Structure 1
Amino acid sequence: MKQKKVNILMATFNGEDFLCDQIKSIVRQTYTNWELYIGDDGSHDRTRKIIANFETLDSRIHLIKFKDSGSHGQLLNFKRLMYYVEPLDYDYIMFADQDDVWHENKVTDTLDSMLQIEKGPTLIYTNYDENDIHGNLNLRYGSLFHKKYGMQQLLLQNWIMGCTMMINRELADLGISIPLEAENHDNWLVLVALTYGKIYYLDESTMMHRIHENNVTKNISQNKFLRPEKRFLNDLKNKKKFRNRNINLMVKLLSIDFKKTTNYALLFLKILNTRSKLKRIALMEKNGFVGLNLHKTIKFLLMV
């Protein structure tokens, strides 16, 4: 039986402090039939040199040289990578952050689970450990989210990180055109899987997610609490744009030409298009479209 091919996509930007550890952890994977495609977003440190060195050591590692080499942001970087591998021979895609460290069985364990449950467009995600830059464990996540919250809540607040997921070819083909309205590539692929396929959870830690001053997770967390009154008032001023962005995102999601498996996105769009704000709020609460915490829920209801 032919071994399944896994394409790993990594977006990098000024990652010289952490990149070596991450690439080494991928090279050490017990599952060996993978290719690593790295898109650099205009780094001005040693990131590209580090990747080039690994290219010479392992033929499965590729630095993709796009025609325009400027900075585009994480969403567009992953979008370009997905288009790059689209014509290639592969069965599954995984996503890698430049500053994490994968456990050696990450690909093996995720793929084994995928092969057992795969049916149609499929996304599977795993647990992870949150560590500091020295590898010390800060937090081990429990399996709370997938048990406590309904899948429709992913439309309001996504808890599934791209670095923990594997998607099959069928889902990748459906979600390849990531719209600019999406929060990120992982948010979009979760919405596509939610609407047209299936989402599964593997309650197993497969990687160390390293938290430090410069990574995306840390910056989002800091910004959320940076001068909250000013930030909240500024958000309220742009609430019309916020609602329109969500409407446009749902329209693009529902325009994918494939049989739908759930009506969450359709219902969400109908609620967003309801003229009365009070009625929108009531319908959101009635149908379980709430955030993972009270702060997120209240803010979203005020914004829409």
Structure 2
Amino acid sequence: MSDLVSIITPAYNAANYIADMIESVLAQTYTEWELLITDDCSTDNTVDIVRSYAAQDTRIKLFRLEANSGAGVARNNSIREARGRYIAFCDSDDLWKPCKLERQIAFMSEKGYKFVYTKSDVIDTAGNVIAINERVPRVSYRSTMIVNYIGTTTVMYDTEGIGKFYMQNVRKRQDWLLWIDILRVTRYAYCLPERLSSWRSGNEGSLSSDKSSLFRYHLMIYRDYLGFPAPVAFLMCYGVSLPCFMVKKIRHRLINYLYSHGGRYQ
């Protein structure tokens, strides 16, 4: 029997996109999965949409928080309910390619990896590919403390041997902290160099759309969660992480310039 994959999805006012996300999971060639959606007190009809799918497929499960608590708390609720050997993440406005789970599990099984991620497309609100998120082949605990190359919707980790991991109680950058926590145990995460998911850019409600306070949160994380003294945290944030982040962005733009001029998005 195939190993179960638990797919972790937080949802908040996701009515415009969540049906597309669910359809992309239903289209998976690997069928041993459960989709655990925790709604964070949506005020639109997100819950009604999820309920309609759950009524048709028992692999889809809906949970609801009593108070609006943020994506990290919603994800943790789904992780708590997860029964699968593998934990994967798919945000409510993102999409997976049909072979995503199949290819990723095969990659992990063949290589013996416990923590992996993939390349991804960047799509606009209409679903058109507008960029490519290329990834480095391997990241470590130390490198990820400096700059994050791991996209949430691309991740899978194997609970067999390393157990479940939960997100820290912060409103933003929970995913980055989670990768750091997992990498304390696995040492490395490895990239399957295929574009197996699509991250939606330009969505006003996207969990990843607000970058304005990125480095303020980085500074807080270095100081309060990673335990650096304040001067070291400031140096790590603005003297090391920020320059590396800028190099990452320049690399991303160069790669996508080459893709767009070569007509290679599709």
- TM-score range normalised by the length of the shorter chain: 0.7 to 0.9
Q: Which residue of 2 aligns with 1:192?
A: 181
Q: Which residue of 2 aligns with 1:263?
A: none
Quote the offset at 1:20 in angstroms: 0.8
Indicate conservation of the 8 Å contact 1:41/1:72, yes or no.
yes
Q: Which residue of 2 aligns with 1:108?
A: 102
Q: Which residue of 2 aligns with 1:219?
A: 210
- TM-score scaled by length of structure 1: 0.71
Match of 1:179 among 168, 172, 186: 168
Indicate conservation of the 8 Å contact 1:128/1:204, yes or no.
yes
Quote the offset at 1:193 in angstroms: 2.5
Q: Which residue of 2 aligns with 1:62?
A: 61
Say yes or no: does 1:137 pair with 2:129: yes
Match of 1:167 among 138, 151, 157: 157
Indicate conservation of the 8 Å contact 1:153/1:290, yes or no.
no
The CA distance in 1 between the partners of 2:162 and 2:173, in whole Å, is 15
Indicate conservation of the 8 Å contact 2:13/2:43, yes or no.
yes
Structure 2 unaligned regions, length at least 5: 250-266
Structure 1 unaligned regions, length at least 5: 226-231, 252-271, 297-304
The CA distance in 1 between the partners of 2:171 and 2:213, in whole Å, is 18
The CA distance in 1 between the partners of 2:199 and 2:248, in whole Å, is 25
SS in 1 for 2:194: strand
Quote the offset at 1:179 in angstroms: 2.5
SS in 2 for 1:175: coil
Q: Which has the higher helix share?
A: 1
Identity %: 22
The CA distance in 2 between the partners of 1:224 and 1:48, in whole Å, is 30
Quote the offset at 1:249 in angstroms: 1.6
- Cα 1:224–1:179 shift into 2, 3 Å: closer
SS in 2 for 1:152: helix
Aligned amino acid, residue 154 of structure 2: T
Indicate conservation of the 8 Å contact 1:22/1:100, yes or no.
yes
Quote the offset at 1:216 in angstroms: 2.4
- TM-score scaled by length of structure 2: 0.80
The CA distance in 2 between the partners of 1:162 and 1:184, in whole Å, is 11
CA displacement, residues 174-232 of structure 1 (integer Å, 9 cap, x when unaligned): 523x3225844421221123211131111100012121231122222xx369xxxxxx9
Match of 1:246 among 202, 208, 222: 222
Q: Which moved more, 1:9-18 or 1:161-170?
A: 161-170
Based on CA coordinates, which of the two structures has the bigger radius of gyration?
A: 1
Q: Which residue of 2 aligns with 1:293?
A: 246
- Cα 1:292–1:43 shift into 2, 3 Å: same
Aligned amino acid, residue 85 of structure 2: D
Quote the offset at 1:115 in angstroms: 1.0
Q: Which residue of 2 aligns with 1:36?
A: 35
RMSD: 3.2
- Cα 1:291–1:151 shift into 2, 3 Å: farther
Q: Which residue of 1 aligns with 2:260?
A: none
SS in 2 for 1:21: helix
The CA distance in 2 between the partners of 1:295 and 1:108, in whole Å, is 29
- Cα 1:171–1:71 shift into 2, 3 Å: farther
